[in-house]
Structure 1
Amino acid sequence: MMEGISLLTLTNKGKPGVGEKYILNQPNIYVRGILFGAMKYELGDYVYVRCPENNLVAEIEFRVKGFFTGTYNAIHGTIKNEKTGEKLYEITGKWNEDMYIKDELTGRSELLFDATNAKPTLPLVRPIAEQNDKESQNLWAPTIRALLKKDQDTATDEKIKVEEKQRSDTRKREADGIEWVPQLFKPTDEFGLDYIIHANVDGKDPETLEKQVLAITPILPGSHSTGKFEIPPHQSHPNEHTHIAGTTEPDTSAKGAET
């Protein structure tokens, strides 16, 4: 589903002003039945969630169903003391139904999460009309519409259009001597990450954090772009080569920024 790792910080836990950090990766998604039978999606492979502050690590296997044995959506994992290797808890069940956690010391097992009856919190998303042409929902809308209609040929054609447009944009940038850099992220080596958000997000309370995050780029319905990430027009005969370097805060004059 997603490559690399993510860093989650709980600001209401751990040391004041520092919080409690969790480093995690994501399961892979597999599609079965492409050539024959009913199409089925599965999550598979190993996932970890590490908390350096508490010396804890959860290692969870998303088990895919075998051809003749097994079941769909099963998980199995453990929570360990990463420093000593001591197994503290065992996790079992199905990620889309009930998941249980067992205390290895007492042997007691209890419900950890009931996915069947849990009510998801739906994200607030800006309407397509408010999104720029490179935001995912807008960019891939024709492809998604075709997939929902089970029109694989049109979906493939629309996907190719997106890819060809991006290749064309790359050639134009190279012709203008414009070096592409990410809009919203900057390189980092913190916790083994490749990139972090390209903004100063250090609020010590939820209200300040919310304001800082919402100031990065339009997120909620009704919010609009400031234009600071717009890509400059193609220059037919560039006179000089331009290197676009990242800054702590996105620069309104930066060229070549792309989502």
Structure 2
Amino acid sequence: MMQVTGAGNDESRIVLTKPVTLEGESDIDYTAPNPLQLVLSLFKNVMPGSDLSRFQLPPTFNIPKSQLQCFGESVYCIATDMLSRCNGGKSPHDRFIAVTAWSISTLRPVMFGVAPYNPILGETHHVSSGNLNVLLEQVSHHPPVSALHATDEKENVELIWCHHPSPKFHGTSVEAEVLGKRQLKLLNHRETYVMNSLNLLIRFLPGPRTDWVGKVKIQCQETGLEAELCFRSNSFLWCRGNHRSVKGKILDSSSLQTLYEIDGHWDRTVGVKDISNGKLTIIYNAKEVISGLNAPIVKDPKEVWPSESAIVWSDVSQSILSKDWEKAREAKKVVEEKQRELLRERDSRGETWIPKHFTVSHSKEGGWDCSPIQKWVPPAPIVVPL
């Protein structure tokens, strides 16, 4: 459901839409345009192997929300409290299995042929879901880097993520390598779980589809446990058995002994088998976790920051939802031109933009690290109804 909230003036309208769920955005009357137009545009304007991070999509290929919102939704829009399960595990093995299931729960289906807006520099997204407060900030525009900090003081849990997509065009497909470190801290247990992100694969031929693919490694130095997960897509031969599959293992890093085997499909169910006794347990059910998700609502419009995604892109989103494409193009042009003007002003003064909520560092090799300035994320004026 779309929500438009006035926050004092026309420039502060807040547009929020339903999050991406297992079934897709079914309550939004929005149909992607002919994907062939996008493919032809790529063939015409971009060489194979090119970095697409600066490629601008027209609004006809945008969904009505920012990438920053989609990134945050994978954490705060969830029907089952997977983070509490991580913290509530009685043994290191129980907690590690729960963290593995939670990491799988952050995946969402991606619609083919459309994409969210590229966040502007300094854009923020601040949402609360129960006791979990989530804050995101776009800390770099070229290259695009998003930082996420989420805390739950009741459970004493903290998330720190750095998200740096690097999309490349390969002729018949686009693959976005998602760089950056993800950390989940269970502070009651003094355990930190470090993991990487999957790649997003968009295939045009032999049939259009999108999938999350690649390998994820989850490590906990304090317990000596680690997981190796492999996510697969359909093959060219459309082998149904591989569609959205996940296979892997949990092992003791010191002895390299496999303790558990993981098998399933991230859009259905995933099970874990205890090697010691052969017992199989379902640790993740996508239908229970990412179905029927609620859209965030505005609890206190006056407290929403002007940098909030739902305000920055409100005119564009409203125009897309009403299918007024000319107005959407003009509104998007206004947002982009304002950013260029701010950049010119900073350059003329010799100023360097500094994030408000994170300390950012990066190496010559291209790695990025984002550290939150505040210990705890404050409650947000935008909330997810439970």
The verdict on a shared fold, with TM-score over 0.5 as the criterion, is: yes
Residues 196 and 114 of structure 1: is their aligned pair in 2 closer, same or farther, counting only changes over 3 Å? same
- Of residues 44-53 and 139-148 in structure 1, the stretch that sits farther from structure 2 once superposed is 139-148
1:115 Cα deviation (Å)?
1.7
Matching of residue 11 in structure 1 with residue 187 in structure 2: yes
| Contact kept? 2:195, 2:216, Cα under 8 Å | yes
Q: Alignment partner for residue 63 of structure 1, among 226, 229, 232? A: 232
Is residue 219 of structure 1 aligned with residue 383 of structure 2? no
**Residues 27 and 151 (structure 1 numbering): CA distance in 2 closer, same or farther, change over 3 Å?**
farther
* 1:111-122 superposed matches below 5 A: 111-118=282-289
The residue that corresponds to 1:46 in the other structure is 215
Q: How far, CA to CA, are the matches of 1:30 and 1:141 in structure 2? A: 29
Paired residue total = 199
Instruction: Give yes or no for contact 1:47–1:61 (8 Å, CA) kept in 2.
Output: yes
1:86 matches 2:275: no
* Equivalent in 365, 373, 376 of residue 198 of structure 1: 373
- The answer for the alignment partner of 2:268 in structure 1 is 97
Tell me the SS of whatever aligns to 2:340: helix
Q: Which residue of 2 aligns with 1:137?
A: 310
Counterpart residue number, 1:164 = 337
Give distance in 2, aligned partners of 1:43 and 1:157.
33
Counterpart contact for 2:206–2:236, Cα < 8 Å: no
Of 331, 352, 358, which residue of structure 2 is paired with 1:179? 352
State percent identity of aligned pairs: 28
1:26 is displaced (CA, Å) by 1.9
Residue type of the alignment partner of 1:11: L
* Residue number in structure 1 paired with 2:94: none
User: Shift in Å at residue 158 of structure 1?
Assistant: 5.0
Deviations 1:69-115 (A, max 9, x none): 33322111111212222221111111121100012232322211112
Counterpart amino acid of 2:280? S
Shift, 1:175, TM fit: 1.5
User: What is the letter of the counterpart of residue 81 of structure 1?
Assistant: D
Larger Rg: 1
Change (3 A) 1:49 1:125: farther
Q: CA deviation at 1:10?
A: 0.7
Secondary structure of the residue aligned to 1:53 is coil
TM-score norm. by structure 2 comes to 0.44
Instruction: Give the residue type in structure 2 aligned to 1:194.
Output: D
Provide the rounded CA distance (Å) in 1 between the counterparts of 2:230 and 2:301: 40
Which runs of 5 or more structure 1 residues have no equivalent in the other structure? 14-18, 202-211, 223-259
Structure with the largest fraction of strand:
2
Using the alignment, how far apart are the partners of 1:40 and 1:159 within structure 2? Answer: 27
Change in 2 beyond 3 A, CA 1:164/1:25: farther
Are residues 159 and 81 of structure 1, via their aligned partners in 2, closer, same or farther at CA, if it must alter by over 3 Å? farther
Change (3 A) 1:90 1:129: same
- Provide the rounded CA distance (Å) in 1 between the counterparts of 2:288 and 2:222: 32
Match of 1:235 in 2: none
Q: Is the Cα–Cα contact under 8 Å of residues 127 and 221 in structure 1 kept in the other structure?
A: yes
Contact 1:32–1:40 (Cα < 8 Å) also in 2: yes
How much does 1:140 deviate?
Answer: 3.0
Q: Secondary structure at the match of 2:267?
A: coil
Q: Cα 1:193–1:175, aligned 2, differ >3 Å: closer, same or farther?
A: closer
What is the aligned-residue RMSD (CA, Å)? 3.4
The answer for the alignment partner of 2:86 in structure 1 is none
Q: Given the alignment, which residue of 198, 201, 204 partners 1:27?
A: 198
Return the structure number with greater relative CO, CA threshold 8 A, min gap 6: 2
